[in-house]
Amino acid sequence: MDNSEQYLTVTALTQYIKRKFDVDPYLGHVYLTGELSNFKIRPNSHQYFTIKDDHAVIDSVMFRSAFNKVKFTPETGMKVRVKGHVTVFEGRGNYQFYVDSMEPDGLGSLYLAFEQLKKKLSKMGVFNLPKKPIPKFPKRIAVVTSESGAVIHDIMTTVRRRYPIVQLILFPAVVQGDTAAATIVEQLKRVNEMGDFDTVIIGRGGGSLEDLWPFNEEIVAEAIVQSKIPVISSVGHETDVTIADMVADLRAATPTAAAELATPVLREQIENIENMQSRMIVAQNKLLNNYRQILNSYAQNVFLQHPERIYEVYMQKVDNYTNRLQQIITSELRWYKERLWNHETKLAQVSPKDQINYYQNQVSNDVQNMTLVVNKMLSNKRNYFSKQVSALDSLSPLKTLSRGYAIATDEKGQVLKKTSDYQVDQPVDLKVVDGTVKVITKQISEDNNG
């Protein structure tokens, strides 16, 4: 007898077991507690990990749609509470726990997520960034909140009472639910893109941690930090503190308090201006009176009325200094005279007068002898000079001219020696003994005997 029909395939057996798991009412809704193991976040994907206790381990899967709803960041070693169902993975034939929701064991998931984000931002230094100052006299204020809530009504009432000249612009946003964080970020970006606002107020009324959760989202904190316009955060009641409150430039306990922090009281400012104006007038009059008193005191000053008296003291000092200087000079001159007389006495004792007389006599004799020699030399030179002058005189052209001769020259002063140097009608200068005669050449004839 063939018993082959009694044997099942692995697939058939696995499918049978899987159907058993799927129809078991106890395995369809399982609440499990344990410790996360081998947990490594896969961005934008399904999460695969194990849940264990001291004696057992179970493979677990959490699909992306379910994991995106988890508010905190799961980590290996963290104790959690999970809800899901158990089934068999046919490909490997082992059973797995499919997690539908997860929360920390002992702490609420939102509270844990809040602490995790706060710790992360603290490490990044976000809380230590310098706060932007809130303008004291704003012209335009943007309010990011629900258009139907009491927050905008409270802010409008407070601003109208305190500072009605400011322009209040509402940027409606969803402040509760899964889409709230994104709308808050979008409106903050719109306000900064417009750029003509002095202050931004964001907030909502009170509620549970779940209701306030959009203001604990990291994207909202990032948008507040990146805002170029100062942000005042007013979320919940005075005891409620959110991440938005921590990163904002200023935190207000209530929306009314936010409006008060964003605006001054116009009436008080006007009174302050009037008081300052009055104080300025009083101070100005006081200052003018002080200057008048100073001017009057100067006008009554003896030295200003009689400026010559200022110099009287100095003139006396000059006279005293002059007398002292004359006394010092006289004393110094007396000392130098005495010193000179002493030197004269000492010089007289060692006077070279005799030697000087001897050399003076010798010089006189030498002068006489030199005079005789020089006179004799001059006499000889005079005689020789006379002879030379006589010889030159006999050869002088002027001597020849005195005997009736003349020297002919042309206009350029060239001496005309031959008939060829003359031209008819050419002017000729005749140098005679007592002057010059200008003649015109009329005729030229050569001497044949020449």
Beta strand 57-62 with 94-104 is parallel
* Residue 388 confidence (pLDDT): 85
Reduced to 3 states (helix: H, G, I; strand: E, B; else coil), residue 280 is helix
Based on the domain organization, do 389 and 435 belong to the same domain? no
For every residue of 36-73, DSSP letters joined together read: EES----TTS-EEEEEE-SS-EEEEEE-HHHHTT--S-
Q: What is the pTM of this model?
A: 0.47
Mean pLDDT, range 403-420, rounded to an integer: 80
Instruction: Examine residue 277 and state whether it is found in any structural domain, yes or no.
Output: no
User: Do 373 and 423 belong together in one domain?
Assistant: no
- Number of domains into which the chain is organized: 4
Are 71 and 117 spatial neighbours (Cβ–Cβ below 8 Å)? Answer: no
**pLDDT band at 429, cuts 50/70/90?**
confident
Query: What does the pLDDT average to over 30-58?
Result: 87
- Let me know if residue 286 belongs to a domain: no
Same domain for 143 and 244, yes or no, is yes
Report yes or no on 168 lying in a domain.
Answer: yes
pLDDT at site 23: 81
Which tokens in the block code for residue 411? 């206009």
Give me the pLDDT at residue 107, please: 55
CA distance 29 to 289: 93
Structural domain including 406 reads 401-440
Tell me the β-bridge partners of 84. 30, 99
pLDDT in tens, 347-365: 777 767 777 888 888 888 8
CB 190 within 8 A of CB 227: no
Verify that 74 and 145 share a domain, yes or no: no
Question: What is the mean predicted confidence (pLDDT) over 398-421?
Answer: 78
Residue pair 205/149 in contact (Cβ under 8 Å)? The answer is: yes
* DSSP string of 78-136, one letter each residue: -EEEEEEEEEEETTTTEEEEEEEEEEESSS-HHHHHHHHHHHHHHHHTGGGSPPPPPPS
Task: Say yes or no: 251 and 144 in one domain.
Answer: yes
Residue 209 in 3-state DSSP? coil
DSSP state of 411: T
Model pLDDT, residue 411: 81
Residues 71 and 41 in one domain: yes
| Statement to judge: residues 407 and 390 lie in one domain | no
